[in-house]
Structure 1
Amino acid sequence: MSDGDIRVLLVLDLLLSALFSTVVVWGLAFLDLSSFTLRNVATGTILVAVLTYLVVLRQ
């Protein structure tokens, strides 16, 4: 079984992390718990991507 190209995995990780973070930040803004800004989405994306890398991709 092939592990795949790490570059493809990292790009998919970033894209899916950005999508997830956008939804979470939008939900928090909808509930008036946070503001929907690019900084909040970017911070969430970085946190989710790093966490995913450490838990799943790093071997």
Structure 2
Amino acid sequence: MASDGDPRVLLAMNLVLSTAFASVVVWGLSYLDLASFTVETVAGMALVVFLVTYLAVLR
């Protein structure tokens, strides 16, 4: 019998991985001079990635 796991762990992992992915994407965009690498930009991108992942996978 498989366990689904603790949803808090899944949310924490999603938050950490979304933030890491967003920082890499924003860094790449700033390298191409398409966006500025700021905390606000990374946080906004992380929120978008987090929500898309949450809606696609966890629901």
Runs of at least 4 residues off by over 4 Å: none
**What is the TM-score normalised by the length of structure 2?**
0.96
Q: How does 1:3-42 map to 2 (within 5 A)?
A: 3-42=4-43
The root-mean-square deviation of aligned C-alpha atoms, in Å, is: 0.4
1:50 match = 51
Deviations 1:7-44 (A, max 9, x none): 00000000000000000000000000110000000000
**Number of aligned residues:** 58
Mark the runs of 5 or more structure 1 residues left unpaired by the alignment.
none
Distance 1:47 1:35 in 2: 17
